[in-house]
Chains A and B, each alone.
Chain A
């Protein structure tokens, strides 16, 4: 794992229900660092999370509410969570069902600030 991002990703993946976490380059959707459980395909997830974040940013800017601070996509079996970090980085996490989403959200926002 890329050294500067090892500690933040470790602290995130230690939370209950987190299946994986990644730092992603927002501009190109490539993985910068990852800590994923088996079965989660990092390259595809990074690319799609970055694309989703770009679309959400476009939407929220058009709605005149500024860029997103946090994106939460709730699916049937879990959630995809994205927190924009430094100018060109995204902190991405995949969580299962029935997880402490509030705690995960707080932790991601805290880590995203540290990455910035």
Chain B
């Protein structure tokens, strides 16, 4: 398990243990990975993050079009494994969780422990960070490299 934000690790570890999730990914709505468990390749991780946030965005837009309250969670059930996606607001903006689980657990359990994860993350979250005034290309590259090192130990 790896995280860019170290305070995320304990709640995410507890979530993975309790829910028996195979893979777990926390990311911002723009697809920036915050923490991950179980992914071994950078490519898979980035693709999953992009697709997961895409699904949240499109289901949110669908709800908007239908004049419904936006879906907080989306679940795709497969025969061997299923996906659960849920979003929640933190002091650092809106985050999305992508969870892949198999027959060793249940969607209901993942949902219950996801709610617990959100509570624990909000309790552990440091205060809102000071916004940077300007984003420079050098900063971006440095932060990207730091994120990849944090997530994959490279």
Contacts and interface: CB of A to CB of B under 8 A. Distances in A.
Interface size range on B against A: under 10
B112 A30 contact: no
A30 B107 contact: yes
A84 to B, nearest CB: 15
Contact of B77 (A24, A28, A51): A28
Interface in B96-135: 105-109, 111-112
Contacts of B107: 28-30, 47
A24 B106 CA distance: 12
A51 B111 contact: no
A99 interface: no
A43 B112 contact: yes
B20 to A, nearest CB: 9
A102 B77 CA distance: 38
Interface string A9-47: 000000000000000110111110000000000011011
A28 B82 CA distance: 10
Contacts of A25: 108
Contacts of B108: 24-25, 28-31, 43, 46-47, 50-51
Looking at A25, A47, A54, the one whose CB has the most chain B CB atoms below 10 A away is A47
A61 interface: no
Nearest to A44: B112
Contacts of A30: 107-108, 111
Looking at A29, A46, A48, A54, the one whose CB has the most chain B CB atoms below 10 A away is A29
A28 B106 contact: yes
A43 B114 CA distance: 12
20 contacts: A24-B108, A25-B108, A28-B77, A28-B106, A29-B107, A29-B108, A29-B109, A30-B107, A31-B108, A43-B108, A43-B111, A43-B112, A46-B108, A47-B106, A47-B107, A47-B108, A51-B106, A51-B108, A51-B109, A54-B106
Interface of B: 77, 105-109, 111-112
The 7 A-B pairs of least Cβ separation, nearest first, read A29-B108, A47-B108, A29-B106, A28-B107, A47-B109, A44-B112, A30-B108
